[in-house]
Homo-oligomer: A and B are copies of this chain.
Amino acid sequence: MAPVPTPFDNQDRLDEARLKAAFEIWVRGPLAGFVILGSNGEAALMDDEESARAIGIARECVPRGRTLLAGTARESTQATITATKRAAALGVDGVLVRTPGFFKSQMTNDVFVRHYTAVADASPVPVLLYNFTAVTGVNLQPAAVARLATHPNIVGMKESGGDVAQIADLVSMTPDDFIVLAGAAATLYPMMCVGAVGGILALANVLPGPCVRLFELTKAGRHEEAIALQRELVPVARLLGSMHGVPGLKAALNLLGYDVGVPRPPLLPLPESIVPALRDALAHFEEIPA
């Protein structure tokens, strides 16, 4: 699945037409699903009204056979529930709920369990937990996930961290049907080796074909081919991920013929000086969207 970016126009407003146009390309590709309003969707920079419009467009564009998730995390439990219900009413198949993290020293396992239980109790659609320590500064530990995995409306988790020991704990402490998803191309293959069943990858916006190929090779146990492909993908993934983030992702899509504009301030566009390196990295894949 791809966590899609959100285009803004040159007055820094949500650009619905560009979002629709981008979805038209994405849905022609092989991805199993999409996440609207994820971290890469700049959801943290958008208000509730814009968020509702973005979900509406996504629902309109993504055919029913594909999964559509929406990011609905807020810092307060009640605002998370409100956003979750709104997304469900707009027709998403499930919600992806990043941990709160503002009050770091208070974010104990008990706090997380109470928060997610309240959200899952209130949500009309299935809930996926989402741990993204690099951004939130807090860690949703396997011990808390194990407690939450027994809730009938909590079906899985996206883990964006890359600590293999924690991932091994996570898989070993949750039921077999609890869905664990990788959060980065660099971790998809090793996480699937230890029990993850897929991933939500920024890179899947840009190179959906190779990402799906990596998934299929790994699933089929063709480890050598999977490793070889992962080796090719990691350098590009890093340019869009830890190195340049949303500015890198939007620049890459623009190079490939999508028209997703620039990030919302305070984010700055990718510096011009980086663009050639990005173009070279992408050229390797000759990914030519229609």
Contact = CB atoms under 8 A, between A and B. Distances in A.
- Copies of this chain, complex-wide, total 4
A177 interface: no
A44 B105 contact: no
Contacts of A238: 165
A171 B267 CA distance: 28
Interface in A77-101: 77-79, 100
A223 B162 contact: no
A231 interface: yes
A106 B267 contact: yes
Interface residues of A, number: 65
A137 interface: yes
Interface stretch (A54-62, A191-199, A202-210, A252-260): A191-199
14 contacts: A45-B102, A46-B76, A76-B264, A102-B135, A111-B267, A137-B137, A162-B165, A165-B184, A167-B190, A168-B190, A189-B194, A193-B193, A194-B230, A221-B221
Q: Which 10 A-B pairs have the closest CB atoms?
A: A193-B193, A172-B231, A165-B186, A45-B76, A115-B266, A77-B265, A44-B102, A190-B190, A162-B164, A164-B190
Interface of A: 12, 39, 44-47, 75-79, 100, 102-108, 110-112, 114-115, 118, 134-135, 137, 162-169, 171-172, 184, 186-187, 189-191, 193-195, 221, 223, 227, 230-231, 234, 238, 242-247, 264-268
